[in-house]
Chains A and B, each alone.
Chain A
Amino acid sequence: MGIDNPPPNSSQASTTGQPQRSMAEWVTFIGATVILLTLVGVIIYDWQVNQDRPPAFNVVVAESIRITDGRYYVPFVITNTGGRIANGVQVIAELDIPGQGEETGEQQIDFLSGHEQKEGSFVFNHDPHRGDLVVRVASYRLP
């Protein structure tokens, strides 16, 4: 019965009411497809390149120490040299000055993606140049 008497909607669609897609609509479609394919491509690339490389860290302490109001500010740069993101990266600085005991500082970095760099500073009461300064990553979590 459907063949003898097609619904008005579809007959309109096939003859007058619904023209073919315009050139402009195809341009939109091509643009959108390019955007989506690029995004999917980048995601798959990241999956292939980074996911089997666990986080690893490299901490560099700057040579130039800032002194303000008798305190010593030691800037550092931490880089996640691995592929995967790390959560709650704990950076510890230990300053051992012979005869004056030990000073420690601690930093928690929320998220550090693969290849990402973050900067911060440790603050000490004693001159780090006169002692032995060790900055290291103590722990992290996987999200």
Chain B
Amino acid sequence: MPHPTPWRTELQAILRGIAGGFLFGIPLLYTVEVWAIGSATDPRWLLVVLGLTLLVVWLLTQVEGFRQTLALRPLEAILETIEAVGIGVLCAALALLLLRRITLATPLPEATGKLVFESVPFSLGVALARSTFQTKRSRDRRTTAPLSRRLTSPTLAKVRDTLVDLDATLIGAVLIGLSIAPTEEVPLVAASLPPLWLLLVMAASLVLSYTIVFASGFTDRTERLQRGLLLSPPTETLVAYVVALAVSAIMLVMFQQLSPSDPWQEWLSDILVLGLPASIGGAAGRILI
């Protein structure tokens, strides 16, 4: 194989990032609620969303990323985060222009609002590009050089493996939840449920999550049990469900479906209703990623 020049390698990395961005960004691009939410959002909130995107992409870059590099220094993780979000914003802008959701006549605040919200899935897609387009399903995860050398003891390596499992839950929950959180269906379903029905939704979420990961034989369970600290399957299912609920709450707040002035009953039912698809996504994430 000829030696690729740095420019060619970088171009490939960027194209990989763009491909990943479009793969994950497209569902939210065709969601009318996102355009409306984007147009109507306060600029301060847009900055919060942008900051949150940078934070999540930075977390993803620790283990994923769009370049092939497998060992990363902390500063490089920050640089790659900025690059990934930059590519995400660029892709989202091109897609919005292509579908004429942003035209020359669109007022500036509306355009920036749409762009910031649509950039979220695009940026996540860029940050996941390497593992998305990897042909071999090996476990060559990226390692970020620890800030201190003490952080490399065996116990902490186990904690790290557990975090990788949680990270997979997080990614799966975000990817499935992100295209559902802004829709009107969430409050609609939540409002129509009788109070005790929420327990049924919780039970269904747990059972489905458990089934996908442990009971279906999709994955080598012994290998999973040896790796990481995640204890027994029921405990892992519960922890993953809590993660899925937290992700649901954050996404609902981000898309302004929930605000502090809403009654707590609405918070509870909306989060649990979105928690169902999020926990299924989380379970799928743990076996696929």
Spell out A's residues near B (CB within 8 Å).
2-3, 6-7, 9-10, 12-13, 17-18, 21-25, 27-29, 31-36, 39-40, 42-47, 50-51, 85, 87, 110-111, 113-117, 143
B residues less than 8 Å from A21 (CB atoms): 76, 79
Does B136 lie at the interface of the complex (its beta carbon under 8 Å from any beta carbon of A)? Answer: no
Closest-by-CB residue of B relative to A142 is B40
Contact with A along B41-66 (1 / 0, CB 8 A): 01110110010000000000000000
What residues of chain A lie closer than 8 Å to B90, measured between beta carbons? 35
Measured CB to CB, the residues of B under 8 A from A are 6-7, 9-11, 13-14, 36, 39-40, 42-44, 46-47, 50, 67, 69, 71, 73, 76, 79, 82-87, 89-90, 105-110, 112, 115-116, 143, 145-146, 148-150, 152
Task: Report 25 cross-chain contacts, Cβ distance below 8 Å, ordered by A residue.
Answer: A6-B149, A9-B145, A10-B146, A13-B71, A18-B69, A22-B7, A25-B79, A28-B10, A28-B86, A29-B83, A31-B86, A32-B84, A32-B86, A33-B86, A36-B50, A36-B85, A39-B89, A39-B112, A39-B115, A40-B50, A43-B50, A45-B108, A50-B109, A85-B109, A111-B110
Given contacts A23-B6, A35-B86, A50-B109, contact A43 B79 (CB under 8 A): no
Contacting residues, chain B, for A117 (C-beta < 8 A)? 105
Q: Are B87 and A43 in contact (CB under 8 A)?
A: no
- Extra contacts, 17 of them, besides A43-B46, A50-B109 (Cβ < 8 A), are A6-B149, A7-B149, A13-B71, A13-B73, A13-B145, A18-B69, A21-B79, A24-B6, A24-B10, A27-B10, A34-B86, A40-B47, A44-B43, A46-B109, A111-B40, A113-B109, A114-B109
User: B9: which A residues are within 8 A, CB to CB?
Assistant: 22, 24
A50 to B6 Cα, complex, angstroms = 45
- A-B interface contact total, Cβ < 8 Å: 120
Q: How far is the CA of A120 from the CA of B75 in the complex (A)?
A: 54
Contacting B87 at CB < 8 Å: which of A23, A27, A32, A85? Answer: A32
Chain A positions within 8 Å of B47 at CB level: 40, 43-44
Question: B116 touching A39 by the CB < 8 A rule?
Answer: yes
A9 touches which one: B71, B79, B110 (CB < 8 A)? Answer: B71
**Given A21-B76, A23-B6, A42-B112, also A113-B107 (CB < 8 A):** yes
Cα distance A10–B150 in the bound complex, in angstroms: 12
* A46 and B116 contact, CB distance less than 8 A: no
Assess A2 versus B10: contact at CB under 8 Å? Given A43-B112, A51-B42, A116-B107: no
Minimal Cβ-Cβ distance residue in A for B51: A40
- Nearest B residue (CB) for A33: B82
Q: A45 CA to B46 CA in the complex, in Å?
A: 12
Asked if residues A2 and B152 are in contact (CB atoms below 8 Å), the reply is yes
